Structure 1
Amino acid sequence: MTVHGTGPVGRPRLAGRTALVLGGGHGPCGPDQSGGTVGIGFATATTFARHGAATVVVDRDPEAAARTVEEIRRCGGTGHAVVADATDPDQVEEAVAATLRLTGRLDVVHNNVGATRLGGPEELTLEQWRATLAVNLDSVFLSAQKTIPHLLRHGGAIVNVSSTASIRWTGYPYPAYAAAKAAVNQLTRSLAVQYADRGIRVNAILAGLIDTPLVYRQLSGGRAAADVRAERAALSPTGAMGSPYDIAHAALFLASDEAAYITGTLLPVDGGLHVRAA
């Protein structure tokens, strides 16, 4: 396998480790999406695998999980697909157990499960509000609950995917999503301090305007992909959306020994969106 960007000693950053990527499946691009668009989970899982990790891809869609693993193996990496709903405690526990059966260890946990839902208090029902919190926040809590006992054996890293929407208005009316991601931030910080002296690092990435399939499924409002892309590019200080691999590379750093003294950090990967007033 060709490895791009090895660690400081010239070896893959995650060699010999197991990475569990929740929400790592790769769904098919629809006719209204750009042909090359992939999700953050796919980008991160394949990046971890390129850097030597045995990567366990968890997704509730078995075909999506299989697509990611197929790409990992095509490139010479080690990948396993596990089907689970990240909001179901029993299924998350089984996914962790499967990871240990398949690889014998657990070192890195990447929480990428999430979904947006447009609408404010006047539009959302209480059930929709709670469902948004469940997918974005409960999934992170359950992942921590089921993986931390195993990470405590020899240390490890948890990387959560949050959003710039957790700290700033980003142009979209989705307060349920923003509130859930803000809670992910504080959960990240709380866990980081609680387990700092026990060998577990916990950090979060605040993803900005990233070009992923989710954008065209959940935020387009039925508009053409080209129009959505142009609108989001205009919202970014850089004049362009970020790539899923921008998030994946940040996750790789936070998961690696290069970030050994970094915990409790909320790392914006958003082209400067978080420092712009409007």
Structure 2
Amino acid sequence: MTGRPTGTAQPSGTAQPSGTGRLSGKAAIVTGAGSVGPGWGNGRATAVIFAAEGARVLAVDKDAEALARTMDLVRDAGGGAGEVLPHECDVTDGEAVRGMVEACRASFGRVDVLVSNVGGSRPGGPAELDEDAWDAQFDLNLKTAYLACRHVIPVMREQRSGAIVNVASTSGIRYTGSPQVAYAAAKAGVVQLSRVTAVQHAADGIRVNTVVPGQLHTPLVEARLARQRAGGDVEELLRQRQSRIPLGFMGDGRDTARAALFLASDEARFITGTELVVDGGMTARCD
């Protein structure tokens, strides 16, 4: 992969996908495949890395410009052995999501993998958030995962196979330093949605798991979070976030993508109904 990564430098040996074709020939939908700014958002990184691993990817976002940048990165990376097609879709809209799944089948003949990666936080506890903000947070962070599952599961059930990876957040399993109660509750819902769906559809050959990213340095830091939590001071917010991480550095969207890659691949054939936390040890700390 090429392009300028966002965030603190990582240890050597972690910057490139392996290129071993772990998803060779599989058809995948990745939602949230654009990004709010330059760098490696979770969905953008997933689309690029999946293609490098041989997948045929329907890269989904409602922002055409952000999708175009993702397609540029796929081309910069040489595309791998896979293929990526852009698809504009508002994944809070059930009919649009139905069309997204149909587009994947029309293009690739099947749907082997779904990565549901859409979300964003609003600060505030119950006394601060109004009802509209609460509802909007659940639509964005939980309903989107439900709608994607709702429309892709019948296809996977017919195929008798499939892997679903929902992307949650450490805010859904711990208090991570900010009272963002609607976001936290919705992401906790994503975890339980995955667990229940995994048990229900195990006999159909469908695996469902959750990636739980921690405080990564994704484009959201510059685009939104620094303004919300550090008065616009990006460096101060990065310092605060990194201080919570035992490994001593922040990952980025590529770390989420590699976790999704493992759970989507046949290497995880005996793994369902569980969570893979990607947080540098943050949620294991007592303080």
TM-score (norm 2): 0.89
Deviation at 1:90, TM superposition (A): 0.7
Asked if 1:179 corresponds to 2:181, the answer is no
Residue of structure 1 in register with 2:18 after alignment: 5
Work out the CA distance in 2 between the residues paired with 1:198 and 1:124.
40
Alignment correspondent of 1:273: 282
User: CA contact under 8 A between 2:40 and 2:254: conserved in structure 1?
Assistant: no
1:28 Cα shift? 3.4
RMSD over aligned CA atoms reads 1.7
Structure 2 counterpart of 1:217: 223
2:122 is equivalent to residue 125 of structure 1: no
- In 2, the alpha carbon distance for the partners of 1:25 and 1:175 equals 26
Residues 1-278 of structure 1 mapped to structure 2, 5 A cutoff:
4-5=17-18, 11-29=20-38, 37-77=39-79, 78-152=83-157, 153-220=159-226, 221=228, 222-278=231-287
Once the 2 structures are TM-superposed, how far is the Cα of residue 237 of structure 1 from its aligned partner?
2.0
The CA deviation string for residues 106-159 of structure 1, in whole angstroms up to 9 with x for no partner, is 100001100111111121101100100110000000000011111121411000
The whole-number CA distance in structure 1 between the counterparts of 2:76 and 2:18 is 19
Judge conservation of contact 1:117–1:218 (CA < 8 Å) in 2.
Answer: no
Q: How far did 1:273 drift?
A: 1.4
Distance, in Å, in 1 between the alignment partners of 2:133 and 2:223 is 17
CA distance in 1, matches of 2:248, 2:77: 32
Aligned partners of 2:102 and 2:260: how far apart in 1? 23
Look up the SS of the partner of 2:163 in the other structure.
Answer: strand
User: Are the equivalent residues in 2 in contact too, given 1:117–1:177 (CA < 8 A)?
Assistant: yes
- Write the distance in 2 (CA, Å) between the matches of 1:120 and 1:224: 23
What percent identity do the matched residue pairs reach? Answer: 46
The aligned length equals 267
How far apart, CA to CA, are the structure 2 residues paired with 1:4 and 1:162? 22
- After superposition, what is the alpha-carbon deviation per residue over 1:231-263, rounded to whole angstroms, capped at 9, x for unaligned? 111122222222211111111000000000000
The equivalent of 1:34 in structure 2 is none
The structural deviation recorded for 1:97 is: 1.0
* d(CA) in 2 for partners of 1:4, 1:169: 32
Counterpart secondary structure, 1:48: helix
Q: What is the DSSP-based 3-state SS (H/G/I as helix, E as strand, rest coil) of the residue aligned with 1:79?
A: strand
TM score, norm. by length of structure 1: 0.92
The amino acid that maps onto 1:227 is: E
Q: d(CA) in 2 for partners of 1:27 and 1:183?
A: 24
